[in-house]
Amino acid sequence: MKIEATVTMINVFTALEARMTSTDNEVLEIFCKINKFLYAHLPTERPKVAFSLGLTDAGGVGPFNTDITLKFSKVFYNFGEAYNPVSGCFTAPVRGAYYFRFTMWEYRTSYSMTVSLFHNDKRVMWNFDRNDEFYVNMSNALILQLEKGDLVYMTLHSGYSLYDTANNLVTFSGFLLFPL
């Protein structure tokens, strides 16, 4: 009786092992199909876009008689080359959600600063501060959904000014959060 029970147990274990191997193979096959589907429908490489800029080492900028596009000439980082220091514009290389931030500074008394951030030709942010005593600074940030080819840039309004030095008091940065 013990031999029969042992043989029966061995047969049960052999059958269970065969079923487990079969199930393992089915799970592996499904996993491979899922991965193949995902890799076929996802971009092969995620776009990389980021920039960080300083305005100038020259000191005072402005005031001017007209609004000007700020051209940040000190390029600390421009991965993807989406920011153009000649035009002062960031051009979205892909459709996606982007994060932008800036800091502005002015120390000359009786000068005020007013800057705007534009998405294409639409102002999406307006910022103002007046220097009554020693210095003023401001910073702000936002997330924008951009289409490929959309422009983002900053303007200094007519009659207002900024002040920057080698200490990088006026900066503008942005990066792609994720493509859409």
Q: What is the dihedral angle through the alpha carbons of 16, 21, 23, 27, rounded to the nearest 10 degrees?
A: 160
Phi-psi region of 92 (alpha: psi -120 to 50; beta: other; left: phi over 0): beta
Whole-number Cα distances in Å, 150 to 75, 120, 134, 139, 147: 21, 6, 38, 23, 6
CATH classification of 50-179 is 2.60.120.40, yes or no?
Answer: yes
CB 130 within 8 A of CB 136: yes
DSSP sequence for 4-61: HHHHHHHHHHHHHHHHHHHHHHHHHHHHHHHHHHHHHHS-SS----EEEEE--SSEEE
- pLDDT tens digits, 148-178: 999 999 999 999 889 999 999 999 999 999 9
Of the chain, the end-to-end C-alpha distance in Å amounts to 69
Domain boundaries, the chain: 1-42, 50-179
- pLDDT score for 62: 87
Answer whether residue 124 shows pLDDT above 80: yes
Starting at the edge strand that comes first in sequence, how are the strands of the sheet with 136-146 ordered?
Answer: 74-79, 50-54, 171-179, 96-106, 136-146
Looking at the chain, the whole-number percentage of residues with pLDDT higher than 70 is 73
Answer whether residue 75 shows pLDDT above 90: yes
CB 131 within 8 A of CB 112: yes
| Amino acid letter, residue 47 | P
The tokens for 129 are: 């501060």
- pLDDT score for 25: 65
Quick check: pTM over 0.85?
A: no
